[in-house]
Amino acid sequence: MATTQRTFGIVKPDATAAGNAGKILARIEESGLKIIAMKLMHLSETQAKGFYAVHKARPFFGELVTFMTEGPIVAVVMEGDNAIQRWRDLMGPTNSDEAPAGTIRGDFGSGIERNASHGSDAPETAALEIAYFFNATEIQAPTEAL
């Protein structure tokens, strides 16, 4: 049974710098996911550290924060049946070197960090990540009960 969900995604700085944000957003829409909120923003160090706080003890944390603050991102809220898994399938594996052609990371990424996109991995994560970037007045009302 299909479940209408919301999920969160980021078009990362590498993809925006390469001029691929529009192509990635088009793929979202072509996949049947509905974009219900979107904003172009340049993360501050504080914002990036807060968003990726779950990784703060990991050795790559500093590099991740530096990367995510080097240029603008596009933060996106999507809605659709099984949106979380559909977005993750559209992105492909985290490591772009292992992502097949036709996926966002396979076509627009260049490694494990510079992988063009981020996506929530569960309903709880999606709710937290959406709330981190958007307030209720910035998100389109649900098309049906969630």
- Check pLDDT > 60 for residue 145: no
Average pLDDT over residues 48-75: 96
Instruction: Say how far apart CA 107 and CA 110 lie, in whole Å.
Output: 9
Q: Which residue segments constitute the domains of the chain, with CATH numbers given? A: 4-42+72-138 (3.30.70.141)
pLDDT level of residue 11 (50, 70, 90 thresholds): very high
Catalytic residue among 49, 88, 105, 118: 118
Sequence-ordered alpha helix ranges (H) in 52-135: 61-68, 83-91, 104-108, 123-133
Catalytic residue check, 42: no
Given a contact cutoff of 8 angstroms between Cβ atoms, the answer to whether 68 and 52 are in contact is yes
For the segment 49-58, the average pLDDT, to the nearest whole number, is 95
What is the rounded CA–CA span in Å between residue 54 and residue 108?
A: 25
Residue 3 falls in which region: left (phi positive, over 0), alpha (psi -120 to 50) or beta: beta
- pLDDT at res. 2: 67
For residue 1, name the pLDDT band (cuts at 50, 70, 90): low
pLDDT tens, position by position, 65-113: 999 999 999 999 999 999 999 999 999 999 999 999 999 999 999 998 8
